Amino acid sequence: MACCRPGGLDVNDSLADVKALVFDVFGTLVDWRGGVAREAELALAPLGLQADWAELADDWRAQYQPAMEEVRSGRLPYARLDALHRRNLDLVLQQRGWAAQVDDATRQSLNRAWHRLDAWPDVVPALARLRRRFLLAPCSNGHIALMVALARRNGMVWDAVCGAELARDYKPQAVVYQAAAAAFDLPPAQLLMVAAHSSDLAAARAAGLRTAFIPRPDESGPGRGEQRASCAVDASADSLLALAAQLGC
């Protein structure tokens, strides 16, 4: 069965009580691969270093989950994502034999590439529509300063900033999603987690949230992103604008 929100559009019954939408950010809202590749070339090419810059971005991103697992497992205390990204950058430069050529100042600047990523084209207009009816927040592994930088760069307007720093842990730990619900003083079932990654949505669903899948097929390179959810979700749409329409916004 379906219910009808103001505006005449049907939504699934499971979404009828949703009050807030929370979003994965890297890949779902912003193009990490293109942005990191651009910033790596700007920082490293003047040093005489040459590479497939998108491949370097992939190598850096490949260290993302292993670094967070060190925190999730308790082997490392919680640290902001900037600290983990810097650790991962140092490792990637060492693997490429570039450690001696890239000084600390260059590394510090390049590490902030993750603060200077560009949103996918549908993001800002969709968020503006969704915010007319729902509370909105990122629920990212990125920390608050990083989320604020991306929001200001791209014109994304949030009602709060949720995620890893608030929970002092990293997704897919249930506490990250549940802390977002608590921040809005809502039960988890009244939050809709929006992401381009099935693993994120499966964890959010297990934590009690509603879930919506948005494909970003070029996130990891042309045609290498998820095309459809591989887990059960409450909604799926071709873009954030299409999701806004499904939700009557």
What pLDDT band is residue 36 in, cutting at 50, 70 and 90?
very high
Indicate the pLDDT class of residue 99, thresholds 50, 70 and 90. Answer: very high
CATH of segment(s) 2-31+117-246: 3.40.50.1000
Which residue matches tokens 């967070």?
A: 68
Q: Domain coordinates of the chain in residue numbers?
A: 2-31+117-246, 32-115
In whole angstroms, give the CA distance from residue 193 to residue 100. Answer: 43
User: What confidence category does residue 7 fall into, taking pLDDT thresholds of 50, 70 and 90?
Assistant: very low
pLDDT value at position 1? Answer: 27
Residue range 215-240: mean pLDDT, rounded: 95
pLDDT for res 153 = 98
Average pLDDT taken over every residue of the chain: 94
Output phi, psi for 156, to 5 deg: -85, 130
- Looking at domain 32-115, its CATH class is mainly alpha
- By CB atoms closer than 10 A (0-12, 13-18, 19+), residue 141 is buried
Same topology, domains 2-31+117-246 and 32-115? Answer is no
Tokens in use for 210?
């509603």
pTM higher than 0.85: yes
pLDDT bin (cut points 50, 70, 90) of residue 13 is: low
Q: What is the mean pLDDT of residues 62-90?
A: 97
